[in-house]
Amino acid sequence: MPKEGFVTSITRQSEDFPGWYNDVVLKAELADYSAVKGCMIIRPYGYAIWESMQGELDRHIKATGHSNMYFPLFVPKSLLDKEASHVEGFNPQVAWVTHAGGKKLEEWLAIRPTSEAIIAESVKDWIHSYRDLPMLMNIWNNVVRWEMRTRLFLRTTEFLWQEAHTFHATAEEAADEVRTGLDCYVKVAQDWLAIPVIQGRKTEAEKFPGADYTWCIEAMMRDKKALQAGTSHNLGQNFARAAGIEFLDRDNIRKHAYGTSWGFSTRMVGATIMTHGDDSGLVMPPNAAPVQVVVVPIFRKDEEKAAVAEAIDKFTAALASTPEGKAVRVKVDWREESPGFKYNHWELRGVPFRLEIGPRDVAAGQGMLVKRVDRSKEPVPLMQLAAEMPARLAAYQAELFQRALDFRAANTHNADTFEQLRDGLDGEGGFFMAPWCGDTKCEKQINEEIGATIRCIPFDSPDEKGKCLKCGGESERRVLFARAY
């Protein structure tokens, strides 16, 4: 196999990153377009990737005391209208049901853009006393937001996600919950998907509609653009006041509950593709890979096939003899296709390791191990490999995370003037830490003029006096500017 890669049927990243991304999603059979404009079909391999991150996130969420439940897909217009800033923020994207059963509806129904409004309406009948709090709910569902420009996984009219909704007796408890949600996302992004993220606070212009404030995690893709990888919102008492959610506190005074919500979606499948992929397709982090090791048998004669099959059976049995090895996801590709076809197929899908076993390998008691991320080849005794495979996968996972972290560090810069920010984004691109006065007008002008947004005010951005790169006003610290998906 050529060192530069076996796959040649997809666009190169360096030539057309959006084209490359689309090719990978379609040709690796992660998703496809549907008959409904802006909506996608998630194919089995893509859904397996989503199930992996979904399962890991669900594990973290349940460990924090949240319970899964479900609310209806439809939200009456009157409920959305109760929280003015919330509905104003979502209104351009809301899809409405105006007719049903052959008749015009007396009240329009929104197809769920998010669930705060309908949850608040129900929760007001469930919360009576401080003893009913905190109420920690989590939902796995689909939502609809009528997007003008869609892209598979990254931004679709309908998408799958997780949304947590919680209610608390005090502002301090709600603030702690915002951190809990963000911590769950950081663990999944970094430990499971090997995507390094920057944690920070959204600006007032970028926060969730109706929230007091929004925290987020931001990631850098291979084209040096940003992707919002998860958000956690402190809703204060806004939704509780609008819906009339009150409880009798310990001091015998009726009070409004404090709310939070946080969300994580199928766009993280796209984030995984764009953080790790290369010109040959996907490069999957082992934790999230549907297949971690693919075995390709190589033979010409029936007797060779029998010997190869016996060697493969011994390898897989040895691998399954320990709890760690049993958890390794192995696929033996016995399809009636050439080895080259199979190399192409699995490389495109980003399987971390390929193990080639032919007659000569059987005679030597070994297999040829090919590492997807750098295509390095190594002959390894099969029984030794069976014992080492879990550790090799863990090392591969760590290597992908460090590679992405190094890439972000190499492409993060300081900008002290508007010209430096503009020229940097138009040139090599990347993340830019720059001073900003805090005025939404400056933020909006920068976005309109050069297409950059303030992704967040990073938590680890130190106090640093400066001059706003737009108006020259006083700045307390640098914030993260980037062009984004």
CATH code at position 451: 3.30.110.30
pLDDT value at position 62?
98
Predicted pLDDT of residue 91:
73
Residue 71 sits in the same domain as residue 121: yes
H or E, element range at 16: none
Specify the pLDDT at position 109.
96
3-state SS, residue 72: coil
What is the structure's pLDDT at 82? 80
Same domain, 159 and 253: yes
Domain boundary among 363, 392, 421: 392
pLDDT of res. 183: 98
Encoded tokens for 129: 């006393």
Residue 22 is part of a domain; what is its CATH number?
A: 3.30.930.10
d(CA 238, CA 257): 9
SS3 450: helix
417 shares a domain with 385: no
444 contacts: CB under 8 Å, gap ≥ 6? 205
Residue 49 counted as domain residue:
yes
Question: Can you tell me whether residue 396 is helix, strand or coil?
Answer: helix
Q: Determine, yes or no, domain membership for 369.
A: yes
Same-domain pairing of 45 and 162: yes
CATH number at residue 336: 3.40.50.800
Q: 134 and 64: one domain?
A: yes
32 with 157, same domain: the answer is yes
Tell me the whole-structure pTM to 2 decimals.
0.94
Tell me the residue range of the domain where 179 lies: 17-276
Provide the mean pLDDT of the chain.
95
Tell whether 100 is covered by a domain.
Answer: yes
Residue 401 counted as domain residue: no
Q: For residue 365, give the 3-state DSSP assignment.
A: coil
CB neighbour list of residue 90: distance below 8 Å, 6 or more residues apart:
80, 113, 114, 145, 209
- Choosing from 342, 363, 392, the residue where a domain stops is 392
Residues 438 and 377 in one domain: no
Domain boundary among 392, 420, 444: 392
Is residue 282 domain-resident?
no
Copy the structure tokens of residue 143: 């939502």
Tabulate helix, strand, coil % of the chain (nearest 5): 40, 30, 30
Per-residue pLDDT tens over the stretch 271-314: 999 999 999 999 999 999 999 999 999 999 999 999 999 999 99
CA distance 313 to 336: 19
The confidence score (pLDDT) of residue 210 equals: 86
pLDDT, position 7: 59
Q: How far is 76 from 84, CA to CA, in rounded Å?
A: 14
Q: 464 is written with which tokens? A: 């640093």
Element housing 230 (H / E): strand 226-236
Query: Has residue 281 been placed in a domain?
Result: no
Task: Reduce the DSSP state of residue 338 to 3 states and report it.
Answer: coil
DSSP state of 321: T
**Distance of alpha carbon 197 from alpha carbon 361, whole angstroms:** 42
226, β-bridge pairs: 220, 484
Residues 111, 211, single domain; the answer is yes
Question: Would you say residue 398 lies in a domain?
Answer: no
If 0-12 CB within 10 Å is exposed, 13-18 middle and 19+ buried, where does residue 140 land? Answer: middle
Alpha carbons within 13 angstroms on the beta-carbon side of residue 395 total 7
Positions in the chain short of pLDDT 50? 1-4
Verify that 321 and 422 share a domain, yes or no.
no
Within this chain, do residues 315 and 459 fall inside the same structural domain, yes or no?
A: no
CA distance 24 to 414: 33
Backbone torsions φ then ψ of 278, nearest 5 degrees: -135, -170
What's the confidence (pLDDT) of residue 2?
38
311 phi/psi in degrees, rounded to 5 = -65, -40
The count of domains in the chain is 3
- Residue-wise pLDDT for 451-485, tens only, equals 999 999 999 999 999 999 999 999 999 999 999 99
Whether residues 298 and 257 share a domain: the answer is: no
- The answer to whether residues 53 and 153 belong to one domain is yes
Contact yes or no for 229/268 (Cβ under 8 A): yes
Residue 202 lies in a domain: yes
